[in-house]
Amino acid sequence: MLSLGMLLGIVFLLMCLAASMALGVADIGPGEVYRALAASDGSTEHLIIRTVRLPRSLTALLVGSAVAVAGAIMQGLTRNPLADPGILGINAGAAFAVVMGVFFFNTASLSLYAGFALVGAAVAAVSVYGLGSLGRGGLTPLNLTIAGAALTALVSSLTTAILILSQRTLEEIRFWLAGSVAGRDMALVMQVLPYLAVGLVLGLALGKQLTTLSLGESVAQGLGQNTLWIKGAAAVSVVLLAGGSVAIAGPIGFVGLIVPHIVRFWAGADYRWILPYAALTGAIVLLLADIAARLVIQPQELPVGIMMPIIGAPFFVYLVKSRVKR
């Protein structure tokens, strides 16, 4: 059943991808999209598709699945249904690093942002891990969440401080800070692709171990699991996924939080299914959100990072209302 669903999901994903390339300010038919990809004749429409829409759609697809898988891993790892790269401070760390980069080195190129973002995400993840294990009882879900919240608050207020001190930085960075997949070129996508691919493969490979770990640390140890290694590997995967996606698209919240919960409706509690489904669903959600962001206020567009909470939060509230009894 679940593998059939997977197949259907992939078909739907491809449809979304096609729609994402066809729809926009200039509407281009699906046939034309196919011809542009198969054999471009150099016309304006084909150029739009190959240089603007293709990278953009691929970015949305990659970032969506990366963030969703990162969120699912974090929720399994911390046994905290509210964990995601945003809440555990990784997005804030990456954003802070990029703002620092713009402030001190005066760069305005997206590929340099990417480098800073990866470093920032890694430092933030390591600090949250380290700080979280200082608390009573070691690396418990609660300690990790507290450490993440504290780090987020600290780092984002430092980010605000820089933005207040330097209006130039604010001007350069504010579109990036909102989180968007528009205007990314193929070179940038290719630059970040290796990180995302390694992170995704590593994450998907950990499915079985994560399922065991989500039963509780002592259970996992009792079943003979080396929890330290698993946690370490999962953390590496999260840093690659979250850092890589912040690097291309800026901080995009909510996908990582919401998608794993949606997926659990049909995939249950088994991370061997949750993770691939999260990758698929995350990509679909972000592609659709990006299409919506392009179409709501034509010819203007909204950054997809802003669309996500507006679409996602009502759903989240609904989940809370129907699921949380006490």
Partner 1 sequence: MGFLKEISVPGKKQAIERPRWLVLRTGWLSLRVDKRVPNVLLLLALTTLAVMVWSVGQGEYPVPPLDVVRTVVGLPTDNADYVFVVNTLRLPRTLVAWGVGMALAIAGTITQGITRNPLASPGIIGVNAGAALAAVSLIVVFPSVPISLLPLAAFSGAFTVAILIYLIAWNGGSAPVRLILVGIGFSLVAGALTELMVTFGNIYDVSQALVWLAGSVYGRSWAQVVSFTPWLVVFGLLSLLLSRELNALQLGDDIAQGLGSRLEWQRGWLLLCSVALAGSAVATAGSIGFVGLMSPHIARQLVGPSHEGLLPVAALTGGLVVVAADLIGRLLFAPIELPCGIVTAVIGAPYFLYLLLRARK
Contact residues for partner 1 (CB under 8 A)?
82, 131, 134-136, 143, 146-147, 149-151, 153-154, 157-158, 160-161, 163-165, 167, 170-171, 174-175, 177-178, 253-254, 302-303, 305-306, 308-310, 312-314, 316-317, 320-321, 324-326
Q: Which amino acid is at 101?
A: G
Whether residue 2 contacts residue 269, with contact meaning beta carbons closer than 8 Å, is answered with no
Rounded least distance, CB 124 to partner 1, Å: 13
Tell me the CA distances in angstroms from 286 to 16, 33, 122, 312, one per residue in order: 10, 20, 24, 11
As a whole number of angstroms, the distance between CA 136 and CA 127 comes to: 17
Task: Decide whether 202 or 246 has the Cβ nearer to partner 1.
Answer: 246
Q: How far is the CB of 242 from partner 1 (least distance, A)?
A: 17
| Residue 174 or 208 with smaller CB distance to partner 1 | 174
CB 53 within 8 Å of CB 186: no
Task: Decide whether 167 or 218 has the Cβ nearer to partner 1.
Answer: 167
Comparing C-alpha atoms, which of 279, 309, 316 is closest to residue 293? 309
12: left (phi over 0), alpha (psi -120 to 50) or beta: alpha
Select 49 or 94, whichever has its Cβ closest to partner 1.
94
**How near is the Cβ of 137 to partner 1 at its closest, in Å?**
8
CB of 20 to partner 1, least distance (A): 21
Toward partner 1, which CB reaches closer, 45 or 172?
172
Supply the minimum distance, in Å, between the C-beta of residue 80 and partner 1.
12
Minimum gap (Å) between residue 13 Cβ and partner 1: 25
What CA–CA distance (Å, rounded) separates 204 from 188? 24
- 18/311 with CB nearer partner 1: 311
DSSP letter at 52 equals I
Nearest to 290 by CA among 278, 277, 307: 307
| Length of the chain in terms of residues written | 326
